[in-house]
Amino acid sequence: MRRFFYATSNDSSDKNVPTYPKLSSLAIGASVELTESIVHHWCRVLRANIGDEGILFDGFGGEYHVRLQSISKKHAAVTLLAHLETNRNATILTKIGLVMSRGERLDYAIQKSTELGVSAIQLLTSHHGEVNLKPAQVEKKLAHWQQVAIAACEQCGLNRPPLIIAPLSIDDWLSNIAANENENKNEMMVSPIVAELSQDIYYQALQQPADLRLQLSVPAAGQPLMPETLPVVLKQQSPYVELLIGPEGGLSADECARAADAGFAPWQIGSRVLRTETAPVVALATLQALSL
């Protein structure tokens, strides 16, 4: 059965812009106007017909079994048939600070990290990084990367999309972490498609200090393969782990020092050097395996 992300929006400042309420605010049996993206994908691209059934999820928990009740040129509506409590969140809350790479490599990292249950990805620039966006590019690029994550959710069954957070320099990100430790919270800058969702309590937990911070590092002689605290943290009921993953050329010596000052312990996974798009996949899979 096809799954679609239903992006909620209650911004009533412009009467010409439709609003889409949280699905949990509606009764089973209610009629729901579909968002433009779902109408395009389900009704135009996939050529759905009245009576076809599917799954909607809005990121606030669970999912909804629905049936198409009407289709017009620009609009479509469904009937809510049932709420399914099923959630497929990872047991570990994870945020990755990921230095951006070019083109499809970053798309791949976001897609696969989503499939492995990442909670958020903070995009970063660094001294040796390949990508530095101009201010005018940020909104369009952020929307694209958030959509990559949403499409992965629709495919893999995850009901809470990871937040893709607007790029920061690694220095600014580490400074924000220090500020958060002192209770000076910084609002996450995300695409409008998940702006309302980002205020949910599940995602607000990402504003709290992490239980453990790990920097994926290049293998080095004499360096422990795994921080001693990692297995202990993973035994907690709801552990929160932050990961820092640098670019192909690695982080600079100064960036590594600043990361260490911010509490990021080096984590060497195996004896090989991983590509920047491979490292998130290996790290998330390893965390899940260690938590079993």
User: Per-10-residue mean pLDDT for the chain, 292 residues long?
Assistant: 93 72 96 96 95 97 97 94 93 96 93 98 92 89 97 96 96 86 69 94 93 86 80 93 92 92 90 89 94 86
Dist CA 159 CA 187 (whole Å)? 23
Dist CA 250 CA 231 (whole Å)? 26
Count the residues in the chain. 292
Burial class of 106 by CB neighbour count within 10 A (0 to 12, 13 to 18, 19+)? buried
**Beta bridge pairs of residue 64:** 56, 83
For residue 250, what pLDDT is reported? 87
For residue 78, what pLDDT is reported? 98
DSSP-derived secondary structure letter, 211: S
> What distances in angstroms separate CA 109 from CA 92, 98, 149, 277, one per listed residue?
18, 9, 10, 5
- Going across the sheet that includes 240-245, the strands are 163-169, 120-125, 93-99, 240-245, 212-216, 264-267
> Which residues are within 8 A (CB) of 80 and not within 5 positions of it... i.e. 6 or more apart?
23, 26, 27, 28, 29, 30, 32, 64, 65, 66
For residue 277, what pLDDT is reported? 93
For residue 271, what pLDDT is reported? 80
DSSP-derived secondary structure letter, 45: I
CB-CB neighbours of 181 under 10 Å: 12
For residue 152, what pLDDT is reported? 98
For residue 184, what pLDDT is reported? 47
Question: Residue 31's closest CA among 23, 19, 41, 39?
Answer: 23
Cβ atoms of residues 55 and 48 within 8 Å: no
Residue with tokens 């049936």: 67
